[in-house]
Structures are given as structure tokens and as C-alpha cells.
Amino acid sequence: MEVAAVEGLMQDYELSLQHVLWRVERLHQNKEVVTKRDEGIHRTTYGEMVPRINRLAGALKRIGVKPGDRVATLAWNNNRHLELYYAIPCMGAVLHTLNLRLFPQHLEFIINDAADKVLFVDQTLLPLLKPLLGKIPTIETIVLMAEPGAPPPEGMPQMLDYESLLAAESDSYPWPKLSERMAAAMCYTSGTTGNPKGVVYSHRSQFIHTMGVLQLDNLGLGSNDVLLPVVPMFHANSWGLPYAAGMAGSKVVFLGRFSADAKSIVELAEQEDATYLAGVPTIWIGLAGYLKETGKRLPKVRTVVCGGSAVPQALMETMDSLGLHILHAWGMTETSPLGSVARVPADTKPEDELRLRLTQGRVTPGVEIRITDPTSGEELPWDGVAFGEIQVRGPWIARGYHNGYDPDKLTEDGWFRTGDVAKISPEGYIQIVDRTKDVIKSGGEWISSVELENAVMAHPKILEAAVIGLPHARWDERPVVYAVARPEFKGQVGEDEIKEFLKGKVAKWWVPDEVRFIDEVPKTSVGKFDKKVLRANAVPIKEGVKEEARK
């Protein structure tokens, strides 16, 4: 008796994406999948898609794809990509979505690192593929996703044709029994620091993540929603939304060939009655501008998920004024990606609401979070003051990277180091204040470069300011400010004025050793401060001279 009751007597049901496909097939046949294509709107249903998914699995098998093989996609958001989302993992192979915005050398590295065997490519993306040819030896087969009758691409090797492959197969595929620990999909990190690294999702992680996405207090997608993901399908599986839509039975609307072009987004959302949008802040900045300019509104949209980077306050306020409710979410490729969501309790005081919605929110069910002291590694209190690296654990959090890169990302006790630095309020609201690579390590304590930048930029004569840590003999690192004066105050603001201004606003030891005035802060391609450039060109701190400033 003792033994029998120690183990639960529940079914050993393997959690897998086949369950999502089962729901798509049995419950959601009539729900539409709409894709904007260059030649016009393409309209299908889950019901029509299922036989095609079966055919696609048959085709994959026919061209030699075996369980565990990586099958890459170089594709926009469209219905064929969605078919690949189901067929590849459900037949036991690994869906590897390639980020088409990467440099060719990164793409080359990634395909070789993953040892992809087959590559599916959108016709419109052939120019991106061309420079890679001859450099990706593991790819045995390339499948072109084009309209029937499209002319064969010139100057390219022989490719198979997606639609012809499907036409040769049967409407029903004998799906294999999968184990939940098997790999289902992989995504590479963007590789801003070093080479991109492969995150390998399991069927189990995808299943549980999908269960979570649908929770009311989480992303809360539902069967009555019309999802228009403006986040690409190669970006952390479009934040898990395509599978969530399949599980719930939401209509899906794809933008096809992608741009931040607000007009197309608004038009498609209007035409298809979209209720649910998701994308990065840049997209919504463009969209808000377009709505203000044209006077158009999207009254049917009930949720605009915004992630990828922190939501600027002005954006949230503008969107609110346009009737669009931004839901701020935080996560990363390594967290599948959902980590936290900034939902605000119904009884929040109006004056606190915006502030809380601008935080990274509270950790979602399924994920545990902690912040740790940089020196001792001990957990820090959730007091809204102490900040440390965010570490997470849970069933959809990475335990490592493909090919074993960066084993130190996991702590000894099994938590994933996110590289984000945050403080957490007693109620659990996460406020990211920096990245570990940017935070200034001064005498065993951390100084948030972001908070210091904000403090400097609050000075009326300052346009923008970037803060980096530079080596210091005594304190390891000390903060140095690179400031740009507002045009009207150029040459009329000095180092001492800034330091004086900061007193009482930041801790004494946060006051920077130097304030260096420059004409412009160097920026990355997406408009973020490029601190790598600042660091590379920085002259050393003049030690000793300014020592007393810190006392």
C-alpha cells in the first residue's frame, strides 16, 4: 500500500505539440488563417490546413527528414510557415526558424551550428539565401515556398517546390508517438555579444508554455480573438502565439512580407477585425503616429502585447489616448519567451496604474524568479530598492545551449542567468534597470547605468547621456558619463554642474568620475545606445584627481 500511493496514478500522457494539432483538427476547423501576400489576401481555414500539414509531414519524410533532424525556415509570417510550425515538430523533427534580419555571416554560422538538413525558403527571401549558398554544407535539400507557376529562381541550385511536394502526398500522416523531452523547435539568440547561441525547446516546454499563454492574467488570448502577430514567426516562435492560437482556436492573420509599415498593419487589422496585436515598441510608435495622422482608430483591438524591449512611457500614454491597451511583457529566447506580464490589479489607484504597467510586470505562473547579489550570489530582497541579476527557473526555461556553449548561464543550483538587472517591488513588480554587461561594478556594488543616464538626462540642458563603466585601479570600475548638450546649451554646461545636479538624486558613490561631452551618442541599427563603441574609444579615467568626489 505504501508504495502504490507514493506515486500518483495519473496517465503518463506525453505533453507535445501533437495535442495542439489535435485541437486544431478536431475543434477549430472553421477558424480562418489569413495571409496578406503580394498578390492579394490568401484565405484558408484550420480545417483546410490540417490535410496540408499531413501532406507536409509526408513530404518531409519522403525527402529524408528523421526524428531529431533540424529543418530550417527562412520565412515571413504566412500560412505555409504555420504549416511548418505543426508538421516539423509533430513528425519528430526540429523546427528551426531563421532570423532573416541577421547578417549573412550570422545566418551561415547558425545553419552550420544547428547542422540543419533541410531549408524552407519564401520566394521573396531568395536574395537573402543567395550569399549563403556553398557555405551551408549540411543542407541537403532546399524547398521553395512559392505560388504554383512561379518561374524557377535564376542562378540558384535546384530546389524542390513546396506545393508540388504536398500534391504528391496523402491527406493523412501516421504521426509517431513522441516523448515530451524531445526537441520540438530551436531559436538562436540574436548574438549581440558574441556568436548566436541555439536554444532548443522541447515538446513539453512548448506545451506548458502554450497552456500558460492562454491564461486570463497572462497573455489571455482566447478563441474569440483574431490574432495579428506583428512579431515575426522567427522571433522566439512569435512569442508562442501561433501555438496558443491553435490551442484556443483563435483566427490568425499574417502580415506576410513584413515591414513596420503602419498603414498595412492598420488596414489588415481593420479588414480582418483583429482584436489582438503583438509586437515590439518600434512597431507601435509607428502605428500610433499613423493613427494620429490619419484619424483612424482600431476599436476592435482589445490587447496590444508589447515586448522585446521596455515600453517608453510616452508610447503607452499615446496608445492609451488612441484606445489601444498595451500589455507589457518581458522574456527572452531562452525563456520560450514568456517571463512576466504587467497586468495591474483592478483595485490599483489611478495614479499608480501607469507606473505599474510600465514595469516588466509580475512573473507568470510556471516561472520562478529571483534577483541575486553580484558579489555574494545570494538572493536579494524584493524591496523595490536592491537590484541584482534576474535569474529564473521553470519548465520552459533553457538549461543550456545547443552544442554546449556558455555553460555558465546556469547557476550551480540550476537557475538561468538572464543577464538582465532588476529590482523587484514587495508586490512582485519587476523593474529592469540594466544589463549585466552594462552595469558598473564599483567596489563590489552595482551601479545601474540606465538609472544614472536617466538622472543625467533629467538635467534641463542635457539632450541625451550614456553611461559606461571604465576600469579603475581601486574600485574595479567607475562610471563615466557621455553627455550631449541640448543644441541651445551647447558649450554652456560643464562637468561640475552635472555632478552638482546629481547630488541628492543618486547615491553619493554613484556620482560619476567624469562627464565627457560629445556631439552625439553612437547608436545601434535599432536605435539603442551603442556602448560597445563608447567603450572601444574611451580614454582611461584620470585616477586620483577626482577621487574625493566619491567620498
Instruction: Give yes or no: 441 in active site.
Output: yes
For residues 298 and 447, which CB has a smaller minimum distance to a copy of itself in the complex?
Answer: 298
Stretch that binds a copy of itself, among 9-17, 121-129, 140-148, 537-545 (CB under 8 A): 9-17
Residue from 60, 111, 301, 398 binding a copy of itself (CB under 8 A): 398
Sheet containing 251-254: give its strands across.
40-45, 32-37, 251-254, 226-229, 276-279, 303-306, 326-331, 338-341, 362-363
Of the ranges 145-153, 364-372, 433-441, 452-460, which one interacts with a copy of itself (CB under 8 A)? 364-372
Closest CA relative to residue 219, chosen from 187, 199, 198, 247: 247
337 prior amide bond cis, ω within 30: yes
Give 517's strand partners: 483
Closest CA to 250 of 262, 260, 238, 234: 238
Give the range of 126-134, 324-332, 388-396, 471-479 binding a copy of itself by CB under 8 A: 388-396
User: Does 56 interact with a copy of itself (rule: CB under 8 A)?
Assistant: no
Helix or strand (DSSP H, E) at 266: helix 262-271
Which of the ranges 148-156, 398-406, 477-485, 495-503 carries the binding residues for a copy of itself, by CB under 8 A? 398-406
Is residue 196 within 8 Å of 110, Cβ to Cβ? yes
| Residue 215 near a copy of itself by CB under 8 A | yes
The C-alpha atoms of residue 291 and residue 326 are separated, in whole angstroms, by: 15
CB 361 within 8 A of CB 328: yes
Alpha-carbon span 105 to 127, nearest angstrom: 14
- Among residue numbers 220 through 279, which ones bind a copy of itself (CB under 8 A)? 220-224, 247-248
Question: Is there binding between residue 48 and a copy of itself (CB under 8 A)?
Answer: no
Give CA separation, 492 vs 485, 486, 487, in Å.
Answer: 8, 10, 10
Q: Can you tell me which of 214, 315, 467, 481 binds a copy of itself, judged by CB under 8 A?
A: 214
Please, which of residues 332-351 interact with a copy of itself by CB under 8 A?
A: 336, 343, 345-347
51 touches a copy of itself by CB under 8 A: no
By CB under 8 A, what part of segment 162-181 binds a copy of itself? 181
Catalytic entry in 272, 334, 389, 477: 334
Residue 366 engages a copy of itself in binding (rule: CB under 8 A):
yes
Q: Which member of 189, 210, 303, 318 is catalytic?
A: 189
Does the annotation count 303 as an active-site position? no
Per the CB < 8 A criterion, the answer to whether 529 and 537 are in contact is: no
Beta strands in 255-397 (DSSP E): 276-279, 303-306, 326-331, 338-341, 362-363, 368-372, 387-393
Pick the binder of a copy of itself from 64, 323, 414, 444 (CB under 8 A). 414
Active site residue 528: no
**189 counts as catalytic:** yes
- Residue 63 or 344: which CB sits closer to a copy of itself? 344
Q: Measured from the CB atom, is 334 or 453 closer to a copy of itself?
A: 334
The rounded distance, in Å, linking the Cα atoms of 308 and 19 is: 28
Active site residues: 189, 334, 441, 446
